[in-house]
Amino acid sequence: MTAPARMELVCPAGTPSTLRAAVEAGADAVYCGFRDETNARNFPGLNFSAQELAEGVRFAHDRGTRVLVAINTFARVGDVDLWRNAADTAVRCGADAIIAGDIAVLDHVATNHKDAIRLHLSVQAAAATPEAIRFYAETFGVRRVVIPRVLSVPEITALNKNIDVETEAFVFGGLCVMVEGRCYLSSYATGKSPNLNGVCSPPEAVTYDEDGKGMAAKLSGFTIDRYAPGEPTGYPTLCKGRFNAGGKTSYLFEEPVSLNAGSLIEGLKKAGITALKIEGRQRGKGYVSEVVRAFRRAVDAVEAGGDAVEIDRILAGQSEGGRQTAGAYRKVWR
């Protein structure tokens, strides 16, 4: 498909106050979820009640911002109605789109709310080929696909030439190195997983043990990384840990980095991407305001024909602290 006139900036809203912060910082759309296991960021203190969503939608719409509701875990057998009801509630609250990955949820929305709300295909559906995307578009009327973080920019370009739905790409935040929605590493170690519980490497499974060799960060007793005395400790996310394999000790899957594809905004636009997604529904108001404001300026600069140096300068403040990568968007990542 041809590149859209103007890319949309899609921003995280973990709570009503971060929703307001993201809207005020210049988000074109915010995404959020209900306070239960129907969304993939099921943490205590996060997310929205139906009433909070309705109020959030009013606040956002008054300022020209759209609200997308993530119902992106896989419905539990015997309890599919909890997920169907979440979709019904999103419609009732006036949300602009539902982001779903489970065929059960997509089928329910397509059957019952076809003209009331847009459907976006969650990254959890792992649709990365024209055939898969066309299937979701033709079967359920999906209008936009969030594409998995395993494709390079040239691959995204080729993909967009072969489909006629919108595509959304992650530009900032977490980096899943496995195909999303098809990774069971977390449940293997802890019993809790993104698909079933909306969590990965959950905090209740984490322990830090001081031993003679330093500080061991463990997940369900499995040592995921170890730090020298005095070295700052990290969170033991399974695929960002250090392991022994083939006689080597290394960050076998991925270093403890996060995704920052800010420098690729122009490339993603040329690749036909409709929307850029910032991750971080667990993050606070201050963080969301700052990141959204920076990306707002960067996207506006790209849309105005700004050069790479200018974009880098705008986003320079976002690359301090933790290590960052452009991930699979650069082909050498593989």
Partner 1 sequence: MTNVSLTLGPVLFHWPAERLLDFYRRIADEAPVGRVHVGEVVCGKRMPFSDPCWPDVIERLERAGKEVVLSTLAAPATVRERRSVADLCGDERLVEVNDITALPARAGQPFVTGPFLNVYNEATAQFLAGRGARAICPPVELSLAAIGAMAAACPEIEFEIFAFGRLPLAISGRCYHARLHGLHKDSCQFTCEKDPDGLAVDTLDDQAFLAINGVQTLSNQVQAFCPTPETLAAHRIARLRLSPHTCDMVRVAEAYRALLDGEEEPGAVRATLAGLDLPGEMVEGYVHARPGWMTAATVD
Whole-angstrom CA distances from 331 to 126, 149, 154, 167, 194 are 19, 12, 8, 19, 26
Residue placing its CB nearer to partner 1 in the complex, 187 or 319: 187
Residue placing its CB nearer to partner 1 in the complex, 243 or 287: 243
Q: Residue 249 phi/psi, 5° resolution? A: -110, 125
Where do contacts with partner 1 occur on this chain (CB under 8 A)?
A: 74-78, 80, 101-104, 107-108, 124-132, 134-136, 148, 150-151, 155, 177-179, 181-185, 187-191, 193, 195-196, 216, 220-226, 239, 241-246, 248-250, 252-254, 328, 331-334
Token pair for 314: 């705008």
Shortest gap between Cβ of 154 and partner 1 (angstroms)? 12
- Residue 298 identity: A
Residue placing its CB nearer to partner 1 in the complex, 5 or 248: 248
Q: Residue 277 phi/psi, 5° resolution? A: -110, 130
Q: Coil, strand or helix: which one is 173?
A: strand
Shortest gap between Cβ of 271 and partner 1 (angstroms)? 16
Q: Are 118 and 144 in contact (CB under 8 A)?
A: yes
Shortest gap between Cβ of 21 and partner 1 (angstroms)? 33
Which has the closest alpha carbon to 261: 326, 204, 310, 210? 326
The pairing of beta strand 248-250 with beta strand 222-227? unpaired
Residue placing its CB nearer to partner 1 in the complex, 79 or 312: 79
Distance between CA atoms of residues 273 and 43, nearest Å: 30
Residue placing its CB nearer to partner 1 in the complex, 122 or 274: 122
Shortest gap between Cβ of 194 and partner 1 (angstroms)? 10
Shortest gap between Cβ of 84 and partner 1 (angstroms)? 8
